[in-house]
Amino acid sequence: MDNQTKFGKVGVLFGGRSAEREVSLMSGTGVLQALKSKGVDAHGFDPAECSLADLAAEKFDRVFIALHGRYGEDGTLQGALEQLSIPYTGSGVMASSIAMDKIMSKRIWLSHGLPTPRFRSLEAATATDSELEKAAQELGLPLMLKAPHEGSTIGIVKVTDAGQLRAGFDECARFDDVVLAEEFISGREITVPVLGSGRQARALPIVEIRAPEGNYDYQHKYFSDDTKYLCPAPLDEATTSVIQALAVRAFNALGCTGWARVDFMLRERAAGTDASIEALLLEINTAPGMTGHSLVPMAASAAGMSYEDLCVEILGSARLGMDLVRDWSLSKA
């Protein structure tokens, strides 16, 4: 069966109206071209320029979600697609919503005994200077302030001294009604893409990110050639296996399906402890970037999978909610 017959008419949803629109346009353009090159009857669709009625009128047999951030990665679009009975790639409504919330993700991981940096949640509208100072005392300086519902390093500030707390907090509060204060982890930054669901979920090779001066910001993530990526990451076999297994556990703990990317910081342990490296979970992206600088295609390439084949595999995992629940439950059995 050729891909046009197998998948029918496919919509690639990209652009949107989140703060990550520019990145989504790059991701979606790449996915659209890749699917067309594999014989898929693929069409671009920008929810910022077209309505849900327009989406229904297209009569897509399935869609590839290449939207990032709010209104595309947070469960809202997934709910609309459920109502329209259009199978879609990635996680379902609840898992998408939870994974988009860094604070809720951390709470669930901790309930599963999974490691994540220490944190506090602060109300954007009401947090006082004394509350900010208390958070700094508890977590130590430097610390990270984050808008917990944003991605692509948007709404993230590193605070190195107490005098920066209020300005850093106010910057993050521009993007969200809650601000995450998180322990700063000095170490190596890595990411682990995961494909599949439940027991069939598998981790791809680990990517290590080495940004100039450790500053993996929006510019260094998408546009700079100064950031270095090591894939597979230079880790011994045992450590690699442990981290990949942890990524799959984190993925399944949130009920994720289809594909995602799990971000970590690695902290060196003191000499004499059981392990030399401690892996700490930062967040999960349930609709990761698919640009020329993106990390999921890089890891897939290291595993021998082309960008085009990766797109086709992800498209093949498109499901509706009840199908996702059934497939996830069966894969856990």
Query: What DSSP state is assigned to residue 142?
Result: S
pLDDT of residue 18: 87
Residues of the chain with CATH 3.30.1490.20: 119-183
Q: What is the pLDDT of residue 223?
A: 45
Closest CA to 90 of 284, 332, 319, 295: 319
Q: Is 41 a catalytic residue?
A: no
Clarify whether 20 is annotated catalytic: yes
Tens-digit pLDDT profile for residues 22-44: 999 999 999 999 999 999 999 99
3 among known catalytic residues: no
Q: What is the pLDDT of residue 268?
A: 80
Has 18 been annotated as catalytic? Answer: no
Name the catalytic one among 263, 294, 319, 327: 263
Q: Which residues of the chain have pLDDT under 50?
A: 216-223, 274
Q: Catalytic pick from 18, 152, 197, 317?
A: 152
Cβ burial of 12 (10 Å; 0-12, 13-18, 19+) is buried
Q: Is 289 a catalytic residue?
A: yes
Q: Is 331 left (phi over 0), alpha (psi -120 to 50) or beta?
A: alpha
- Superfamily grouping for domain 99-115+186-332: ATP-grasp fold, B domain (3.30.470.20)
pLDDT at res. 322: 65
pLDDT digits (tens, 9 = 90+) for 44-66: 999 999 999 999 999 999 999 99
Q: Is 22 among the residues known to form the active site?
A: no
Which of 11, 222, 319, 327 is an active site residue?
222
As annotated, the residues of the chain forming the CATH 3.30.470.20 domain(s) are 99-115+186-332
9-13 and 41-45 as β-strands: parallel, antiparallel, unpaired?
A: parallel
DSSP letter (8 states) at residue 2? -
Look up 261 and say whether it is catalytic. yes
Looking at the chain, the domain(s) classified CATH 3.40.50.20 span: 3-89
| Catalytic residue (one of 120, 188, 261, 319) | 261
152 is catalytic: yes
- What is the DSSP pairing of strand 62-65 with strand 9-13? parallel
Q: For position 150, what pLDDT does the model report?
A: 80
In residues, how long is the chain? 333
What's the pLDDT score for residue 330? 54
Fold of 3-89: Rossmann fold (3.40.50)
Which one is the CATH code of 119-183: 3.30.1490.20, 3.90.1660.10, 3.40.1190.20, 3.40.630.10?
3.30.1490.20
**Residue 145 token pair:** 């302030």
